[in-house]
Structures are given as structure tokens and as C-alpha cells.
Amino acid sequence: MRRLTAVAAIVVALAGCGTIRKTFGIKDAPPAHSEPRSTSIYGDWVLATPDSTAFAGANNVEMSLQPTNFAINASYPSRPAVMISGTVIYRDGLLTLTPTGGSADMGQLGAAFAAGRPIVITASAAGGSLVFAPPPSGGTTAVVPSSVWHKKAMAEAAGKVNP
């Protein structure tokens, strides 16, 4: 009995040892957090909550953001979809979107996305999320997000939008 107890104690003590863990197939649980694979702002994105932005009332808002241009498509339940396109400049965390064209009927978006009028925002991405916020001003370092976007492929996989 003593011998069995001693052997059991040794096995338990060695359970943390890599050799014992490997021999018996003991695996660690995956970490609760993993580093993002990408911090690029470029790609295809879906707006998380359109009603908290200029796109209020939209069913779905998608954006293709590339190093030199962007295109935004917003679909609405009771009116035609709206498309906005333009140029992109990204420097030092500040993203400048300059609309160059859009749908004939921009509705409430006409004021926010006037052709030729640059929109300057802070942009930051990590993993599957992109956050826009007004640029810091007056020495303020706190950034309050104005919109959150999700990678389109991830949103589709999660069932948040239709492919």
C-alpha cells in the first residue's frame, strides 16, 4: 500500500513535467487571449451598429478600404441602396477619406459625405475589428470611438451578415 501511494505521489509530482505530459497526452488549455494576426485597416468591413452613425436606418453597411480608395455600400429597408466612393490617405494613424462620387439620392448622407470634402478620422485595427474616432484635439489623448467595423469574412462566419 505504501509503495502504491509513493508511486502515485511521484506520478502526480511529475505530471507538470513535459515528458510525462507528452507521454500521457496531457495538453494545456488554449490561452484566453491571443494576439491579433493583423493590425491593417485595409480590407472589407461591415459596420457593427449603423444606427449610431450617419447611416442610421441602414440594414447593412459595407466598406472596402484600400490604400488609395474606398467604397461604401449601405442598404436600407425602404429606399434604394447608397454607394459612396473616394480616395484614401493614411498617415500617422489619421485616415482621410475624400468622397469623389456617390449615388444620386444620398439622403441624410449628403451632408456627411459631400464630394470633395475630406473626412479626417483616427483609424485603428486589430484582428477582426476596425475603430474610427474623431482626431484628438486640444491636447486630449482619450479616443472615443465613433464607429466600430468588423472584418466582413468574420462577420459572415459569425452569422452577423449574409454572404
Overall average pLDDT of the 123-139 stretch: 85
pLDDT at 120: 93
Distance CA 105, CA 103 (A): 5
Cβ pair 117, 101 in contact under 8 A:
no
Overall average pLDDT of the 117-132 stretch: 91
Kindly state the percentage of the chain with pLDDT values over 70.
71
User: What pTM was computed for the model?
Assistant: 0.72
Q: What is the pLDDT of residues 11-26, one digit of tens each?
A: 556 555 555 556 666 6
pLDDT at 160: 75
Residue 62 has pLDDT above 80, yes or no: yes
28 vs 50, more confident: 50
Output the CA angle 95-99-102, nearest 5 degrees: 140
Cβ pair 86, 102 in contact under 8 A:
no
Alpha helices in 34-113 (DSSP H): 109-112
Q: Which residue is it, cell 441624410? A: 108
32-36, 64-68, 126-130: least confident range:
32-36
pLDDT at 24: 61
Distance CA 122, CA 145 (A): 9
- DSSP string of 104-160? S--TTHHHHT-TT--EEEEEEEETTEEEEEPPP-TT------SEEEEEHHHHHHTTS
